[in-house]
A and B are shown apart, each in its own frame.
Chain A
Amino acid sequence: MRRRFSSLVSRDTQADRVVPPTGFTARLTVFASGAMAFLAVFALALSLATGRLADQWSDALAQSATIRVSAPDGQVDQQVLTVMEVLQTTPGIKDARVLTDSEQRDLLEPWFGPDLPIETLPVPRLIEVIEEGEGYDPEGLRQRLAGEAPGAILDDHARWREPLVRAADRLRGLGVVSILLITLTMAAMITLAANAALAANAQVIHVLRLVGARDRYIAGAFVRRFTLRAFSGAAFGVIAGVLAILFLPSADVGGGFLTGLGFRGWHWILPLAIPPLAGLVAFLATRHAANTTLRELT
């Protein structure tokens, strides 16, 4: 297979000349593979970005939990103390601390502004819990808190984390499906273009067979041409796609997911795989089309 691929792709000036240049199918193949490669770059970037997002959300929220203590005036401090004692004796908890007034004010600032008199408002106290190792048993902790500090409610972030991670995973899957669909679409378009070229060159094929050309020779002339066209078209598409990604707004805290759409680190190498993949797809599609057409001819 590898030998056949290299023999078909390696340049054979004489064999290439026997097939006349066909402007329409040439342009169609280059354009189709270029457009598909451009889209593939974005699908790849989307898939990688959602993968990173899923990992970030999972990592950021997985090792922490929050306990919210709401109680009538005068009981809050007592219940906070009780909760802290419970947490100190709970396996799987590395650290726990009560958020200061200042930290709580910072959390509320986006909604109520900087001058919120938090001391005078019945705002629940928040306790940050950091897990260690395999973590704690959330159900067991809830039952203990319900018995010893009825105003304390454990929020282990699972209800936030799971749908977000699930959505990110699904987006990543859609990115992979998109790449697959792009590949299949490109194969279909190149097959159509190759069939058109083969039909337009029926006389050429007839003459070549008459003078003793083997099917491999005839197919090779078409396969080489389409493989190189698809490769070069995809190279242009990848360059355009990578430039478009480069000129996206840079990632910052406020930008969130959209500005995170791009490549990081060694992921920039991945688009380089698209032109050879496009060439391989064109090679297989054209070879199949050529062999089918030649078998139908005497």
Chain B
Amino acid sequence: MGSKTRKIKPLQSRDCNNCNAGAKLSPRNTGHTVIEFEEVSYGYSGTGPLLSDINLKLAPGSFHFLTGPSGAGKTTLIKLCYGALVPTQGRVTLFDQDVRQMTRDDVAHTRRKIGVVHQDVQFLDHLPVHENVALPLTVSGKTTEVSDLSDLMEWVGLTGQMEALPPALSGGERQRAALARAVIMSPDVILADEPTGNVDWDMSQRLLKLLIELNRMGKTVLIATHDMNLIRAAKAQVQARVLRISDHRVQLAGADL
């Protein structure tokens, strides 16, 4: 690892003057939306459309939940949000770039601005946790020292597990390590797909708190979950909108959630 590095402090806000959840500009992105869906449909080969005519705009700094029954297409929509899938119809725009027009390098570069946390989070099991967390920096040619990660690891409560290998982590620790990895590049958007699916209530509250803190720093957050209690808990702390996938379409859920 190189020597010209700086301390990584994910909790530092970047020019966030208005830290209430909702639409506000991220310093990196001056457009109106970071992710936009226009008449988007997607279907896997051999089946009918899973998602149909989706129109969606995620403003910078907004906080959204995405809910719906299992198999409704939450994970598919999340994958469309970071260019892992290309819509079969319609247009997905990430940071003002049409996904269909992006080269593979463009997609890779865009993913550095989007942190993703999956329910079944995957790591490189042969590398210690701190190297896994620093992976986005490594692949983008930046170097880090273990000491540079101390603040970030403290933030997610994994200071004692920095040298551990991922298989030794509990479910909650894996999720927090994934969150640390997702935010290490200080991305503009955090996408979390059932981040609390494998953890207990206390741990899910802890993860939620971290995601809310990120949103208060100006990050756009989209969490796919079917945990209504988590959504209620979040709405008590942050101005979040709830999107529901129903009949292949995305609808704005009622305010009583």
What is the chain A residue whose CB lies nearest that of B1?
A14
Known: A14-B1, A207-B122. A213 touches B127 (CB 8 A): no
* Complex alpha-carbon distance, A215 and B107, angstroms: 10
Known: A14-B143, A212-B111, A212-B185. A20 touches B104 (CB 8 A): no
Give the A-B contact count at a CB cut-off of 8 A: 60
Chain B positions within 8 Å of A52 at CB level: none
Known: A207-B123, A210-B116, A212-B185. A18 touches B135 (CB 8 A): yes
The answer to whether A209 and B108 touch across the interface, beta carbons within 8 angstroms, is yes
Chain B positions within 8 Å of A294 at CB level: 104
- A206 at interface, CB cutoff 8 A: yes
Known: A17-B127, A204-B124, A207-B123. A212 touches B85 (CB 8 A): no
* Complex alpha-carbon distance, A229 and B185, angstroms: 34
* Complex alpha-carbon distance, A280 and B60, angstroms: 48
The answer to whether A215 and B104 touch across the interface, beta carbons within 8 angstroms, is yes
* Complex alpha-carbon distance, A20 and B126, angstroms: 6
Report A182-221 CB contacts with B as 1/0, cut-off 8 Å: 0000000000000000000001101111111111110000
What is the chain B residue whose CB lies nearest that of A207?
B122
Chain B positions within 8 Å of A21 at CB level: 126
The answer to whether B109 and A212 touch across the interface, beta carbons within 8 angstroms, is yes
Known: A20-B124, A207-B123. A212 touches B131 (CB 8 A): no
What is the chain A residue whose CB lies nearest that of B181?
A211
Report A12-42 CB contacts with B as 1/0, cut-off 8 Å: 0011011011000000000000000000000
Report B138-152 CB contacts with A as 1/0, cut-off 8 Å: 111001000000000
Most buried by A among B85, B127, B143: B127
Picked from A14, A18, A203, A215, the residue with its CB within 8 Å of the CB of B108 is: A215
Known: A18-B127, A20-B126, A206-B122. A211 touches B85 (CB 8 A): no
Report B93-137 CB contacts with A as 1/0, cut-off 8 Å: 000000000001100111110001000001111110001000110
Most buried by A among B84, B111, B112, B139: B139
Chain A positions within 8 Å of B140 at CB level: 212
Chain A positions within 8 Å of B110 at CB level: 212
What is the chain A residue whose CB lies nearest that of B118?
A210
A-B CB contact pairs (8 Å), 15 listed? A17-B131, A18-B127, A203-B122, A204-B124, A208-B135, A211-B111, A212-B108, A212-B110, A213-B108, A214-B105, A214-B108, A214-B109, A215-B104, A215-B105, A298-B85
Which B residues are closer than 8 A to A by beta carbons? Answer: 1, 84-85, 104-105, 108-112, 116, 122-127, 131, 135-136, 138-140, 143, 181, 185
With A14-B143, A207-B135 known, 20 other A-B pairs at CB within 8 A are: A14-B1, A14-B138, A20-B126, A203-B122, A204-B124, A207-B122, A207-B123, A207-B124, A210-B116, A212-B109, A212-B112, A212-B139, A212-B140, A212-B185, A213-B108, A213-B139, A214-B108, A214-B109, A214-B139, A215-B105
